[in-house]
Structure 1
Amino acid sequence: MFQIKCATTHNANILLQIDNSKLAADDFRIKYEHEVVMRQCVEADIANLRRLLDQTNLARCDLEMQLKSLEEELACMKKNHEEELAALRSQLTNTVNVEVDAAPQQDLNKILDEICAHYENIIQKHRREQEAWFKDKMEGLNKKVADNTECMQTSRSQLTELRNTLQSLEIELQSQLSKGRDYALLLDIKTRLEQEIASYRCLLENQDSKTQMQGPTIMIQSGSLSSGSCQAVPSSGAQSSCGSVGQTAQSKQTTPTSQHTY
Structure 2
Amino acid sequence: MRQLQSQTGGDVSVEVNAAPGEDLTKTLNDLRNEYEQLIEKNRREQVTSSSQDIQTSSHQLTELRREMQNLEIELQGESSAPKHLHFRLQKNSLENSLAETESRYGCLLQQIQGQINSVEEELASIRCEMESQNQEYKMLLGIKTRLEQEIAQYRALLQEGQQDIAYVFHSTARE
TM-score by length of 2: 0.71
Question: Which secondary structure does the structure 2 equivalent of 1:146 belong to?
Answer: helix
Deviation at 1:187, TM superposition (A): 2.9
1:49 to partner: Cα distance: 3.4
Q: Which residue of 2 aligns with 1:140?
A: 125
Q: Tell me the distance in 2 between the aligned counterparts of 1:151 and 1:43.
A: 17
Q: 1:91 to 1:104 in 2, by over 3 A?
A: closer
Q: Partners in 2 of 1:108 and 1:137 — Cα distance?
A: 41
2:105 maps to 1:119 = yes
The answer as to whether partners of 1:56 and 1:145 remain within 8 angstroms in 2 is yes
Task: Render the CA deviation track for 1:172-200: whole Å, top value 9, x for unaligned.
Answer: 1110000010111133235xxxxxxxxxx
Instruction: Provide the rounded CA distance (Å) in 2 between the counterparts of 1:71 and 1:99.
Output: 44
Query: 2:31 & 2:145 partners in 1: Cα distance?
Result: 18
Q: Alpha carbons of 1:98 and 1:76: their partners in 2 closer, same or farther (altered >3 Å)?
A: farther
Q: Which of 153, 159, 173 is the equivalent residue of 2:158?
A: 173
Residue 153 (structure 2) pairs with residue 183 (structure 1): no
Q: CA deviation at 1:111?
A: 4.2
State the secondary structure of the residue aligned to 2:85: coil
Q: Which runs of 5+ in 1 are unaligned?
A: 5-10, 12-21, 191-262
8 Å CA contact 2:32, 2:137 repeated in 1: yes
Going from structure 1 to structure 2, the CA distance change for 1:76 and 1:98 (only over 3 Å counts) comes to farther
Residue-by-residue CA offset, 1:123-169 (whole Å, 9 max, x unaligned): 322x1331232123212211221121111111111111111111111
Change (3 A) 1:138 1:179: same
Selected match of 1:158 from 143, 147, 150:
143
For the 8 Å contact 1:46–1:152, the answer to whether it is kept is no
Of 57, 75, 91, which residue of structure 1 is paired with 2:74? 91
How far, CA to CA, are the matches of 2:65 and 2:82 in structure 1?
24
Residue in 2 that maps onto 1:101: 85
Contact 2:64 2:101 in 1 (8 A): no
Asked which structure has the greater CA Rg, the reply is 1
TM-score of the aligned structures, taking structure 1 as reference length: 0.51
Give the 3 Å change call, closer, same or farther, for CA 43–151 of structure 1 in structure 2: farther
- The within-5 A match list for 1:1-262 is 36-37=21-22, 40=24, 43-94=26-77, 97=81, 100-102=84-86, 103=89, 105=91, 108-125=94-111, 127-190=112-175
Q: How many residues align?
A: 161
Considering Cα pairs closer than 8 Å and 6+ residues apart, tell me whether 1 or 2 has the greater RCO. 2
Distance of 1:48 and 1:59 partners within structure 2: 17
- Deviation string, structure 1 residues 1-32 (Cα, Å, up to 9, x no partner): xxx9xxxxxx9xxxxxxxxxx9xxx9xx8xx8
Task: Name structure 2 gaps, 5 residues minimum.
Answer: 6-13
Structure 1 SS opposite 2:113? helix
Percent identity of equivalent pairs: 9
